[in-house]
Amino acid sequence: MEKERKLIIAGNWKMNKNVAEALDLIQGLKRELVQVKEVDMVVCPPFTALSEVSKQILDSNLRLGAQNMSEHSGGAYTGEVAAMMLKEFSVRYVILGHSERRQYQKESDELISKKALAAHAVELKPIICVGETLAELEGGKTEQVLATQIRGSLAGLTKEQMGETVIAYEPVWAIGTGKTASTEQAQGAHAYIRSLIAKQFDDTVARRVRIQYGGSVKPANARELMSQPDVDGALVGGAALEVRSFADIIKNSI
């Protein structure tokens, strides 16, 4: 399948896997995916496994991502991790503004944009998550919510930085629920997000930005979702925790 943009499929392990389990998963993924060149493949383990995983994937086609970072570059921020600290482990990507953080840690679009700027300052590529809740979907507010989140969380980025940013469209009602957006729903939301980026930046940037779909992505629905013109990859939660399912999502997407 010839796509305009290279697919990027990332596994968000969330708060799962100790170091031994993480290394097991990585060994399996390396074995299964050694031939894959068509997709940018990213694993996002918890902070505690970044060091060991980073050593294990040095000689592979897997890239490393983190699940969060501080908006500050250092100092008296107990419990926080700075972008530069992630760079020490060859982290290339960082998930920002995941709906779980928006919900449980009350992360705002303004905070997410500060984090995105801090990530770009050290050449880490942010994966910025947006998406509506079930109540917002049912209230017909999807576009309004996406417009607010995109405007706020991408505020202050240069065109160049935007081109190096990944967006993950994750309808909150589809995360971990087994409910997936229909391919039409996903394509519609992705095309809308791209139009917002074109307005906020320009057409060239909008054409370049990769927009992942996230929310109950499985081997069985990956091919259809990835075949949509504006779906440029996936952010995978539950199905990224097993070698078989994550590898099959990637193979089914090619």
Set 98, 100, 164, 190: catalytic member: 98
Task: Based on the residue annotation, tell me whether 72 is a catalytic residue of this protein.
Answer: no
Taking CB under 6 A as the binding criterion, the range among 36-44, 85-93, 109-117, 214-222 that sits at the site for ligand PGA is 214-222
Give me the helices (H) in 34-182, please.
Answer: 47-56, 83-87, 99-104, 109-121, 134-138, 142-153, 159-163
Match 């972008």 to its residue by tokens. 83
Q: How far apart are CA 254 and CA 252, in angstroms?
A: 6
Residue 65 makes contact with ligand PGA by CB under 6 A: no
Site for ligand PGA in 143-172 (CB under 6 A): 170
Q: How far apart are CA 110 and CA 108, in angstroms?
A: 5
Residue 212 makes contact with ligand PGA by CB under 6 A: no
Q: How far is the CB of 98 from ligand PGA (least distance, A)?
A: 6
Set 71, 120, 170, 190: catalytic member: 170
Identified binder of ligand PGA from the candidate list 138, 176, 199, 244, rule CB under 6 A: 176
Distances (CA, A) of 13 to 44, 52, 252: 6, 15, 20
Residue 217 makes contact with ligand PGA by CB under 6 A: yes
Site for ligand PGA in 232-251 (CB under 6 A): 235-239
Q: How far is the CB of 225 from ligand PGA (least distance, A)?
A: 12
User: Cα 2–206–167 angle (5° rounding)?
Assistant: 85
Distances (CA, A) of 22 to 107, 130, 186, 240, 253: 27, 27, 31, 11, 24
Residue 216 makes contact with ligand PGA by CB under 6 A: yes
Task: Based on the residue annotation, tell me whether 170 is a catalytic residue of this protein.
Answer: yes
**Footprint on this chain of ligand PGA (rule: CB under 6 A):** 12, 170, 175-176, 214-217, 235-239
